[in-house]
Chain A
Amino acid sequence: MAEILVIAEQRDGAFRSASLEAIAAAKSVKGGDGKLAVAIVAADPDALVGDVSVEGVDEVIAIKAGSNDFQPDLMEAVVAALAEARQPALIVAAHGVDAWSYAPVAAAKLGFGFASDVQALRYEDGELVATRAGYAEKVRVDLDFPGKEVVLVTIRTNVFDPAGGAGAPTVTAMDAPACDVSTAHVGWKQPEDAGGIDIPGSDFIVSIGRGVGDESKVEQFLELADQLGATLGCSRPIADNGWLPKARQVGQSGQLAANCRLYIAMGVSGSVQHQWGMKHVETIVAVNTDPEASIFSIARYGVVGDMFEIAEELENHF
């Protein structure tokens, strides 16, 4: 079986651990006699060889570049050079923002088969099949790549367990290919440390909707959130009525819960606009009296019940 090549990444010299998930994805289709090579491009690639020397990796290609800056043109030249030299059947990278910038470019230029945001890989009758989601996660799509000798895929994060265990790959040193670059790194901007209400930054949100009924009931949910160590969010009607400040509104015309791991929606029906604000949430719990509420179709756990009763009971545990 031909070689599989993983393009590992660094940012400002620090290894990006999502690359270990890409390696795991590559391993999932590596046959017994297959070969898995991992390439990493950096100013001092040797310093990163250890990070990718995990079990199952046969070779690390340490590619020395002039700097640690992310240059899409350079990454594309690297992919082209390695594809030419190694003739891999499959090239794998993490579906991170850097790969967004170079992977489709390389695939289009070089005529590769291509799929992004892939959640599973396998061979069916000798044909590579990649699975990804479609229609806003409502369907799965199995893709194949007829007539393509090289296929490039990017792997969704948090699907594969990062590859681990000690490996003993051979290390090949290489200089980055010469190429013109059209971008230049200027600097970094760290995320802002917003004080006060911070829906985008919160990792735990309890959110209330119109099920709360009237303003006098809002306070007890502020208190509940406080007891639970959560940030209180709300649906739009609650903010529209002035019961809670706009900064707490989750949704299309409000805030995006960008870093939320646990979101407890109480008395929220789950309109598409509200869901928009919840799209990055890992675990959604819905409490709603209406078993048909659409919030239940996106929630991981559901309680069909009254938000006040649940809230009152919940307080007994914190």
Chain B
Amino acid sequence: MASWGELPGLVDRLLDTGDPYAALGAYPFAHAPDRQALEAVILATPRLRLTFAAAPYAPADLLDRISIDADGAHRLRLAKNPATPPSALARLLTGDASERIRRYVAAHRHADAAMLSALAVDRSVQVRRAVAGNRNAPRGVLTRLVAEGDGLIDRNAARGPFAGAEILQTLWDTGERHVRAEIAAHPNCPGAVLDQAEAMSDALIRRKLASNAGLGIEALSRLLTDHDERVRAAAVRNPVVAGDYLDDPEGEPSPKVRRIFARREWLAAHVVARLAADPDDWVRRWIARNPAVPEDLMARLAADPVMEVRRSTARNPACPAPLLTILAGDPAAWVRAGVALREDAPEGAISLLLTDEDPDVRAALGRNPRTPASTFEEIARHPDKDVRRAVAFNRAASVSVVALLAEDPYPLNRVIVAGHPNLGRAPLEHLLDDPEPQVRFAAAAQLARRLAPPPAASGGLHINHCD
């Protein structure tokens, strides 16, 4: 047997124990012959085959393997699984694929141009509609589909990234209101259509037009003074509108539109000042997050009576250090937690927060790499499992703190810590025997990743980090 310190050794061990979940974790990192052996373990029973055919975390090659001799229930699960690769999708279309399967493939993000061309002449209109809505649908396919005159096909095609000016012009000439609204917003919309759209009395069309990033600034500046607040809001939102055009929120009667102003980047100083004093809470909540706010105004917003405005200030990347220290003493825990999350929080703010008992603050500190090591350990022993988990997400957590979490009674915490770079070899191997399948999967994947020669293969369990 190969040594444990190498991938083949790990594979041997996984084959030995016959644990399908751990085997699945290592699968993407194994070489072809080992993969075959692992497949036998992973797909040992009908129940497992069904489970993994539907699993979005299953590696593409395994799904491809399942597709080779898939029966009805497997095929449907594969067609629905967003991870299913093109090769397997193509296989699902051979033979007499059911309408449901064809529809799922037509909408699948991995369906390629060839499959879509074939499905574009499918006998079921549901399938053809799905093709028209697929972002991969090529221009030729869209042209053919639009000729059908089906309302839902037209709606989908009018949004297609590959719909060119010609298709859009045809659809504009024949299409109804909602199709036209889509066209007015399309980056490939022909100029003549843009002009017609601007002159239309239907506010929906003007609103969609105002959101078109391909529109010229002259037209947009006219739309900025449209009598319909929704049209003005869409125009303010348009990234083309910038600089001097982003002016006069004061004369703007609609708080909805002013809220959009407050969310825009690159606002002029006088505009920021007006918005920071706006009577509408939401306008202030938005502007308080805006990095364009200067220090003096930031201080005012940090003292706003509305808690959420202060929280927004605490989350503003431009919030100056002294202000963060003040906010670290805010009466509202949610505001203090906002500071505790910041990697750029000044020493003084962090030390104020170290004794804070609020769970949101504790968890935020747990995620912050600036937190001192001794506090990490306290947090890793916190009675609340959610607070403890914060440390598992923290790349700065030390080997010993991470090892604590590998013994955590809460399974999800073990799943997450299995992927931590500072988890030692011994505790990681220990997790291969964990009672929770998810933990064994994550541990095997991490071990295999560490042992596999770079570049690391893709695939793996998607866990809760969205940073």
Contacts and interface: CB of A to CB of B under 8 A. Distances in A.
Given A219-B289, A222-B308, 10 more contacts: A210-B466, A215-B315, A216-B289, A223-B282, A226-B282, A237-B464, A238-B466, A240-B390, A241-B367, A291-B107
5 tightest Cβ-Cβ pairs between the two chains A and B: A237-B464, A292-B80, A316-B230, A242-B364, A242-B341
Tell me the interface secondary structure of chain A in the complex: helix
Interface of B: 80-82, 104, 107, 207, 230, 237, 256, 259, 263, 282, 285-286, 289, 308, 312, 315, 334, 337, 341, 359-360, 363-364, 367, 385-386, 389-390, 393, 464-467
A245 interface: yes
A246 B464 contact: no
A149 interface: no
A236 interface: yes
Interface in A243-287: 245-246, 253
A213 interface: yes
Given A219-B289, A290-B82, A237 B466 contact: yes
B377 to A, nearest CB: 20
B367 A242 contact: yes
B467 A241 contact: yes
A124 interface: no
Given A215-B315, A219-B286, A253-B386, A292 B82 contact: yes
Contact of A223 (B104, B259, B341): B259
Contact of A245 (B107, B285, B360, B389): B360
15 contacts: A215-B315, A219-B285, A223-B285, A226-B282, A238-B466, A240-B363, A240-B390, A241-B367, A245-B334, A245-B360, A291-B107, A292-B82, A312-B237, A315-B256, A316-B207
Contact of A214 (B289, B334, B466): B466
B314 to A, nearest CB: 11
Contact of A237 (B237, B315, B334, B465): B465
A238 B386 CA distance: 12
A20 to B, nearest CB: 42
Contacts of B308: 222
Nearest to B77: A292
Contacts of A240: 363, 386, 389-390, 393, 464
A198 to B, nearest CB: 15
A220 B81 CA distance: 31
Contacts of A315: 256
Nearest to B412: A253
A269 B59 CA distance: 19
Interface string A207-229: 00010011110011011001000
